Structure 1
Amino acid sequence: MAKVVVFSALALAAAVSGHGNITSPPARLPGPAMVEACGQAAVDSVLADGGLPIESVVDPASSCNLFFCRGALVQDNLDLVQTFALGETVNLTADIPIPHEGPANVSIVLAATNEILGEPLLVFDSYADERLAELPANNTAFSITIPDAGNGVEEECVEPGDCVLQWFWFGTGAQQTYESCIDFVIAT
């Protein structure tokens, strides 16, 4: 019964549009491990709005790290782990139904420390500007390149949960933070 409820909730999260999230490759979703770490109320708020800003997550437990993958954990997402090769171009798709201008980036982040490995792979000084009649195409469809050998990726991103490809966006006017994480390993 619990698996059916979690599956139904995950399907709902994928279907509901919020302010913004990554839709391809598949990003981390909430599940039972996140319930354990963050509490049911926090998970319910994320499931109700797949693009909910971090600041709007309801009643997170003190053990919940919302500023790493919005609290979602690799244990709930092992079937979504991607395998990338050094130097590979990865295409990403973002859903942004409600834009909020501000900086954004895509980076490889070490899970153990929540720190960027090397430099960001893509940086937007101004992203998702709500004053524009239409968002630039590169706000919702863009590519990054996995660094070549010698940048630490091949040593650090070996096991699922070591690293994530993180999309991070902060709407300055709205004072809202959006984050999606893609779990990956480097092909050996």
Structure 2
Amino acid sequence: MDHSAHDGRPAGAALTRLAISATLHCLTGCAIGEVLGMVIGTALGWSDVQTIVLAVALAFVFGYSFTIGPVMRSGLSLRAAVPVALAADTISITVMEVVDNAIMLLVPGAMEAGLDSWLFWGALAFALAVAFVVTVPVNRWLIGRGKGHAVVHQFHGGHGSDHEAGSTHGGEHTRRAHG
């Protein structure tokens, strides 16, 4: 395995694995918010713009909460955890949301399809999959420069061992990158 690093940062295959893991984390929060927003907006008969605004807002809420919770469990207050989550996830969530919503708008009829339509669910699954593929290199680049999800890992590295933190978010990623 390639665990080479400069300045204590992962490189090579370790960096790629960390970026994939960080992007899966982002995808989970984004997908929950995105699906919930699309379902609510579609069920209420909202316009494409209203539905997308709700879906994006919920994607950010869920995405940030998936970082804030573990960071707080490792000892940080909510007031201190929020900036960590903003630094860790904003670019990743933004890229993912731009890509998946653009695809939903580009697939003919996807936004107008009902919740019982294979077109709606197929387009949404495809959009999220493409967003994942596009976001992995973005996260790899950010983490390699000590940005994005690396902010969470630096926090965990500076405040006790991964095992003490009890965080599946930061601890899992850090162990993969360094152990």
Q: Which category of TM-score, normalised to the shorter sequence, fits these structures?
A: under 0.3
| Larger CA Rg, structure 1 vs 2 | 2
Which structure: greater helix fraction? Answer: 2
Q: TM-score, normalised by structure 1?
A: 0.27
Q: TM-score, normalised by structure 2?
A: 0.28
